[in-house]
Chain A
């Protein structure tokens, strides 16, 4: 029997799927509806300082006929009062005692104000607190959100203010708008956070109108950067989650998000160390109902693989992450084209010819131009593979037996320093690697 229950930094839920703090978690009505659909937890839309929103808050990038590959927003935190939000948290918790309700908080940088809201949140019955250090627009101009997340010292200071009074688990939600995500992560740890949530949205401008020169979307003629979320940001989030998960100085439970749309996405984050996963954009696109397939798909996958608990897979992909210096330079792969599957679009040819290593030839075959790879010249870069529109038509075939291995880190120890291109060539020559 598959058991999807999780315990993320002391916050328990029947499955790992939580709604992220955002419009879907704006009210008790919505969260009750989401729980009915099966969501395991919800991070309440950030509560705190009074705000006022503008219209045209959302914009999206559509790609090749698919809607919302990325969603951009300039929404602020909850525009409802703290009182109403806390009252609804209490009611929702009473109705759904087995689900996780986490209150996302953001107030002015003042210790007393923080102490006050933390205590009131605990009194309302929330299972945990998430500190929103991520909002990259509006709130940051007022010294909150990413203005905190981008300065590790502030990050530690405010986290301390919260943890010194909190009796429930505290997650710190990081902004990705930094050059190295580990620094704010370490700062949160220093402030005694119980777990890390990431990522919040990424600074972006969606577009410029070619007729009016206004920024898309325009609010009374003005636009600006917003926070980007949705499928487009998943690779960025995966990387950042793995960085936090691998940092020995942090070593905290992770609630991961950024572009999760289905069970497969969720599993990838869990394999990179996440305990719970949060979703916003996919829900804004399709509604709460998507959780049914997230639960069903995860369960079926686990059953098929013989897993019974998510603990058995959490972080299992992390050991496969390596620094470049530790990868085998002598592993040899070349592209191979399956002529039966090829539809002769010649995109592989032009990609290799113009932008890679000129090792695909076109020759006449049965009245068609058939591309073939000149194997000795193929450097195995994988460009043709990603360009080919036919599945399994181009494969990257391993040509070495794995017996020979030399990593960059090993090589630089053997070759005279400072490294000369001639010495490197000699090494490559010896192993039949031709750079052209």
Chain B
């Protein structure tokens, strides 16, 4: 890299990556729990993709039944700590809280859920569920992200013998490797992995299916297989200069940041982030917090088309990120090392995005982070016979999560093109019932 930003002091790193939403004190949690109206058939519950019985878990906080509260939460969502900290609550549960209708602040559901899950972890995660007697069937799961973990936990409760195959050294998927450290800590996700392991789930880490073990072998070993591989392939820009030193994929960049070894992550003094989704925002704010002097987000469309949530956009603005809207990257300029990003201006003509000829401009930068999306690993998945893939997503039955190959089920980012942790957690859990019904031939 041409100009690596000077390293910060440990204290500065800690401050920059401190939690954006700190925990509630016991007193504040109790007061907030008592403010909840305990709605019947509550809209917050409907809005939660895993349909956690929110009013009940909050009621249990207010009566001091913390164990019961933890059980209420976990019985709907196996990665409830991650979700409590990383869910976009403004557009989900809290966005639906009835207090909006009174013109008052919604209940801080995420923070209350975190309060309970923190209590649970602090109490060393006592067993709350007892798995059914072993039913003699076995399921293999590919990928230990939230989808795979949820599916594994639920299947174990149903009596299945479950093994997860995970390519990475650490289980947890993007909960462990992707989510910004000012939202949650890697340890939170690892605690969830530990809890699920304790139910009896086996996790083989460092095993890449398709390379270290074949699909054929999996099919022989297991009665059914769940695919929870997420979207591991970064989309490419297809412009010249991508091979240069100083060009990185957003996922690789944030993965290093979640390890909390900030001093070892190099960041340029001036950084361009290409893309405008939530991942792009994370990469940009993380670059800034690592010490980059200027960070530019470069997006070929306008603010209105940005897929990032409003609160993520606001966060980026607060962090002092600059935005280039209607800018299409054309090439990366430099001599082995990045010197600038050249873009063309764009405009919409008849609803179509068009670049404006001869509108080139250069943004001098030392680093380019590519965050234009993630794709499924097609080369891997095509080796599963008869597996149907459409628009870059594995096709499943909406109810059973069964793929076009009856032995395979799938859920999470690989079937939805990339949503949230909470969607993956729901898919995994529902798919467990799909698998159960498939194996035991129930309708």
A-side contacts of B27, CB under 8 Å: 390-391
Q: A293-B56, A293-B59, A390-B27 are in contact. Are A286 and B65 (CB under 8 A)?
A: no
Q: Is the CB of A262 within 8 A of B63?
A: yes
A-side contacts of B68, CB under 8 Å: 293, 296-297, 300
A304 to B34, CA, bound (A): 24
A381 to B149, CA, bound (A): 56
Additional pairs, 18, CB under 8 Å, beyond known A286-B38, A292-B56, A297-B64: A65-B35, A66-B34, A262-B62, A263-B63, A263-B65, A264-B63, A264-B64, A287-B40, A289-B40, A290-B59, A293-B56, A293-B65, A296-B68, A297-B68, A300-B67, A390-B27, A391-B26, A391-B27
B-side contacts of A296, CB under 8 Å: 60, 65, 68, 71
Q: How far is the CB of A287 from chain B (nearest CB, A)?
A: 6
Within residues 294 to 317 of chain A, which ones have a CB less than 8 A from any CB in chain B? 296-297, 300-301, 304
A300 to B70, CA, bound (A): 12
Q: How far is the CB of A432 from chain B (nearest CB, A)?
A: 35
Q: How far is the CB of A300 from chain B (nearest CB, A)?
A: 5
Q: How far is the CB of B411 from chain A (nearest CB, A)?
A: 30
A392 to B59, CA, bound (A): 23
Closest to B28 in A: A391
A297 to B62, CA, bound (A): 11
- 18 A-B pairs within 8 Å (CB atoms) are namely A262-B63, A263-B65, A264-B64, A286-B38, A289-B40, A289-B56, A292-B56, A293-B56, A293-B60, A293-B63, A296-B60, A296-B71, A297-B63, A297-B65, A297-B68, A300-B65, A300-B67, A391-B26
A-side contacts of B67, CB under 8 Å: 300, 304
A289 to B27, CA, bound (A): 26
B-side contacts of A304, CB under 8 Å: 67
7 cross-chain pairs, A with B, having the tightest CB-CB distances, nearest first:
A297-B65, A262-B63, A296-B68, A300-B67, A391-B27, A293-B60, A297-B63
A162 to B38, CA, bound (A): 42
Q: How far is the CB of B426 from chain A (nearest CB, A)?
A: 23
Q: How far is the CB of B26 from chain A (nearest CB, A)?
A: 7
Chain A: residues with CB nearer than 8 A to chain B?
Answer: 65-66, 262-264, 286-287, 289-290, 292-293, 296-297, 300-301, 304, 390-391
A139 to B15, CA, bound (A): 69
Closest to B64 in A: A264
Q: How far is the CB of A354 from chain B (nearest CB, A)?
A: 26
Query: 1/0 per residue B173-191: CB within 8 Å of A?
Result: 0000000000000000000
In the complex, how many residues of chain B place their beta carbon closer than 8 angstroms to a beta carbon of chain A? 16
B-side contacts of A289, CB under 8 Å: 40, 56
B-side contacts of A391, CB under 8 Å: 26-27
Closest to B63 in A: A262
Closest to B27 in A: A391
B-side contacts of A287, CB under 8 Å: 40
A304 to B123, CA, bound (A): 12
Q: Is the CB of A297 within 8 A of B60?
A: yes
A292 to B75, CA, bound (A): 15
Q: How far is the CB of B309 from chain A (nearest CB, A)?
A: 31
A301 to B68, CA, bound (A): 10
A-side contacts of B56, CB under 8 Å: 289, 292-293
A65 to B34, CA, bound (A): 10
A-side contacts of B26, CB under 8 Å: 391
A296 to B65, CA, bound (A): 8
Q: How far is the CB of A395 from chain B (nearest CB, A)?
A: 15
A262 to B63, CA, bound (A): 6
A300 to B26, CA, bound (A): 20
A-side contacts of B38, CB under 8 Å: 286
Q: How far is the CB of A270 from chain B (nearest CB, A)?
A: 15
A56 to B129, CA, bound (A): 47
A353 to B71, CA, bound (A): 48
A296 to B35, CA, bound (A): 22
Q: Which of B35, B59, B62 has the most CB of A within 10 A?
A: B59
Q: How far is the CB of A266 from chain B (nearest CB, A)?
A: 10
A58 to B95, CA, bound (A): 33
A-side contacts of B59, CB under 8 Å: 290, 293
Query: 1/0 per residue B51-62: CB within 8 Å of A?
Result: 000001001101
Q: How far is the CB of B55 from chain A (nearest CB, A)?
A: 9
Q: How far is the CB of A17 from chain B (nearest CB, A)?
A: 13
Within residues 163 to 177 of chain B, which ones have a CB less than 8 A from any CB in chain A? none
B-side contacts of A286, CB under 8 Å: 38, 40
Closest to A65 in B: B35
Query: 1/0 per residue B99-135: CB within 8 Å of A?
Result: 0000000000000000000000000000000000000
B-side contacts of A66, CB under 8 Å: 34
Q: Which of B34, B35, B56, B63 has the most CB of A within 10 A?
A: B63
Q: How far is the CB of A427 from chain B (nearest CB, A)?
A: 41
Closest to B66 in A: A300
Query: 1/0 per residue B244-266: CB within 8 Å of A?
Result: 00000000000000000000000
B-side contacts of A300, CB under 8 Å: 65, 67-68
A301 to B34, CA, bound (A): 20
A296 to B75, CA, bound (A): 14
A337 to B62, CA, bound (A): 27
Closest to A299 in B: B68
A-side contacts of B71, CB under 8 Å: 296
Q: How far is the CB of A24 from chain B (nearest CB, A)?
A: 15
A287 to B26, CA, bound (A): 27
Query: 1/0 per residue B24-45: CB within 8 Å of A?
Result: 0011000000110010100000
A296 to B67, CA, bound (A): 9
Within residues 68 to 102 of chain B, which ones have a CB less than 8 A from any CB in chain A? 68, 71
Q: How far is the CB of A396 from chain B (nearest CB, A)?
A: 18
Closest to B60 in A: A293
Closest to B25 in A: A391
Closest to A263 in B: B63
A66 to B33, CA, bound (A): 12
A300 to B63, CA, bound (A): 12
A391 to B25, CA, bound (A): 10
Q: How far is the CB of B272 from chain A (nearest CB, A)?
A: 46
A-side contacts of B62, CB under 8 Å: 262
Query: 1/0 per residue B267-286: CB within 8 Å of A?
Result: 00000000000000000000
Q: How far is the CB of B106 from chain A (nearest CB, A)?
A: 16
A262 to B68, CA, bound (A): 13
B-side contacts of A292, CB under 8 Å: 56
Closest to A391 in B: B27
A290 to B68, CA, bound (A): 13
A189 to B59, CA, bound (A): 39
B-side contacts of A65, CB under 8 Å: 35
Within residues 350 to 402 of chain B, which ones have a CB less than 8 A from any CB in chain A? none
A202 to B440, CA, bound (A): 59
Q: How far is the CB of A33 from chain B (nearest CB, A)?
A: 13
A159 to B67, CA, bound (A): 45
Q: How far is the CB of B125 from chain A (nearest CB, A)?
A: 15
B-side contacts of A301, CB under 8 Å: 65
B-side contacts of A263, CB under 8 Å: 63, 65
